[in-house]
Amino acid sequence: MVGQVLIASLLELRKDMATYSILIVLFYTYAIHGMKTNKPNILLFLADDLGIGEIGCFGNSTIRTPNIDRLASEGVKLTHHISAASLCTPSRAAFLTGRYPIRSGMTGHSGSAVLSFNAVPGGLPSNETTFSKILKEQGYTTGLLGKWHLGVNCESKTDFCHHPLNHGFDFYYGMPLTLLTDCQDSCPSETHVSFKKDLLFYAQLFFLALATIAACKLLNLLPINWKILIFFTICGLSVFMYLYMPYLFFRHWNCVLMRNFDIVEQPVNLEKTASHIVREAKAFINRNRDRPFLLLVSFLHIHTPLFTTEKFRGKSKHKLYGDNIEEMDWMIGEILDVIDKESLINKTVSYFTSDHGAYLEGSEMGPDLVGYNGIYRGGKGMGGLEGGIRVPGIFRWPGVLPAGTEVDQPTSLMDIFTTVIKIGGGQVPQDRIIDGKNILPLMQRLGPHQQHEFMFHYCLDQLHAARWHDVSSGTVWKVHYVLPRFIPEGSGICRGHKVCPCSGKMVVYQVPPLLFNLSNDPSEKYPIPPESTSYGQVLQKTQEAVAAHNLTIGSVPQQLYGSNNRWSPGLQLCCGIFPFCSCNKEDD
């Protein structure tokens, strides 16, 4: 009897367990499936050379940026947002990998500062991991539109080892190098102007000398062999052509528009590029409306020559400069409209920033090409001064991030790496140092979170300054070890140079180092006297941090100088007949 009851209840239990198991399985399936579809989309806007003083929500009352301002009013404004470098290539490498560019060999060295041509072997190394690669593993469809500037090929014109599609992007449409004045027919060149001038000068001298020798030979004044003369002429011509061709064909070889691995416009037709990028962004979002996507819109705006489509020319209060910013804001508006129309707003984390501060030496190329970094000193290309690295930062995620709020603790562009990986459910690489931090809890105002206690500010591969956020007092200090030598003195720019040099005679080594309290002197006007008590303490603390940081920097292959940044004919992207390289598949 007892046995029967026992068996009956055991059977009952088994039935229950089966039910439970089914329920549990169902629950997990639902949870996993639910998690998958609940992953938010990630939409990142990255402007080029845009200064923090140039948009409405960061205090500019005369440039109209309603769409960027909207992101800020619906999200969180990062008012102390710092780029890892004050130049494009290194800053972008750090943004995508969450690591100081010096760790990946993506910093230049005296003179050579960014990738110079499409056809150079250098670029973001294949063993660096972008957030896009990790999000792709997490089920995201990933796209990149616009500027890349992190290399194309390594050894052949089709290996595409540095190309976005080999760095975790499923889709690419844009310019693998960057916009430059050389890309606009009517503009003077901005690439290596002085080198080109020197080259032409020495070539003229050389050929003049050869011609003189030949003339002497003809007049029987010199007993020189014709063969030797011809040999030197051919050698001279080859060297000259090798050095001069990349400038002669610059526009065709470097102002290239690609769709994935295909060249679609060579050279690019700038009048149409902005609308093409908007079209591709809309199509990408429409295609991927039902799955999690990552879209990085990397603008060609606000880089010189500030090419602006006719519709926006002459419309702003700040000539071409303002027109260009207002056009970029319009592009953002068009893309946000699609997010609204597809009802994706609450499922999309949006972010806006600039790769570094505005360009102040632009006046060399035209009076209207000078940017503005608000109250901050310095600009593009200067290692440690705030104007070159403090950039606008905005995050919007309705329902998760409090709308209309501000975060004034130091954050870095490298934090985007760690933050979006966290949002997408991935894990940051464990086999290397990652400098970015997850700033989601900071923006959500949730309890304890990781802080940047120190930040290191490089000018190419030279450490120029360090920032200490003393968490106990909330004060942010900055120590400058090296500053540019301005021309003219006190002007805050380096006239006659493309950007301020980072070492040698054109910098001033600060002995003793200059210290500023950024919390009450953000414009870095009033150095703390070395005699004051805080000076010694801050300097010592920072010096220890710099020493510890230096120990973490290993030696890696250098991507931006030497042969890695020299034109290599075998890597030249070219459709049609070399060297003319010309095609247009966009308008077909």
Ligand X SMILES: *[C@@H]1O[C@H](CO)[C@@H](O)[C@H](O)[C@H]1NC(C)=O
Q: Which residues bind ligand X (CB under 6 A)?
A: 53-54, 59-63, 125, 127-128, 318, 321-322, 343, 345-346, 371-372, 398-399, 432, 556-557
**Which of these, 572, 33, 573, 30, lies nearest to 292 by C-alpha position?**
33
How far is 451 from 437, CA to CA, in rounded Å? Answer: 7
Is there a contact between 497 and 360 (Cβ–Cβ < 8 Å)? no
Task: Work out whether strand 41-47 and strand 405-407 pair parallel, antiparallel, or are unpaired.
Answer: unpaired
3-state SS record for 79-124: EEEECCCCCHHHHHHHHHHCCCHHHHCCCCECCECCCCCCCCCCCC
In the chain, % helix, strand, coil (3-state, to 5) comes to 40, 15, 45
Q: For residues 52 and 518, which CB has a smaller minimum distance to ligand X in the complex?
A: 52
**Active-site option among 80, 81, 149, 549:** 149
C-beta of 134: minimal distance to ligand X in Å?
A: 14
Q: For residues 179 and 264, which CB has a smaller minimum distance to ligand X in the complex?
A: 179
How far is 56 from 325, CA to CA, in rounded Å? Answer: 11
C-beta of 565: minimal distance to ligand X in Å?
A: 17
Q: For residues 333 and 398, which CB has a smaller minimum distance to ligand X in the complex?
A: 398
| Strand residues in 193-250 grouped as ranges (E) | none
Report CA Rg, the chain.
Answer: 28
Q: For residues 54 and 182, which CB has a smaller minimum distance to ligand X in the complex?
A: 54
C-beta of 408: minimal distance to ligand X in Å?
A: 19
Residue 88 is among the residues annotated as catalytic for this protein: yes
C-beta of 384: minimal distance to ligand X in Å?
A: 22
**Which of these, 63, 96, 129, lies nearest to 428 by C-alpha position?**
129
How far is 484 from 211, CA to CA, in rounded Å? Answer: 44
How far is 164 from 92, CA to CA, in rounded Å? Answer: 12
H-helix segments, 385-429? 386-389, 415-423
**Active-site option among 88, 183, 494, 502:** 88
C-beta of 369: minimal distance to ligand X in Å?
A: 10
Q: For residues 136 and 396, which CB has a smaller minimum distance to ligand X in the complex?
A: 396
How far is 128 from 262, CA to CA, in rounded Å? Answer: 24
What three-state secondary structure class fits 257? strand
C-beta of 127: minimal distance to ligand X in Å?
A: 4
| C-alpha 454 chain-centroid distance | 21
Residue 452 is among the residues annotated as catalytic for this protein: no
Q: Which residues contact 141 (CB under 8 A, 6 or more apart)?
A: 170, 171, 288, 291, 292, 293, 294
C-beta of 398: minimal distance to ligand X in Å?
A: 5
Q: For residues 60 and 89, which CB has a smaller minimum distance to ligand X in the complex?
A: 60
How far is 361 from 381, CA to CA, in rounded Å? Answer: 10
Which residues have a catalytic role annotated? 88, 149
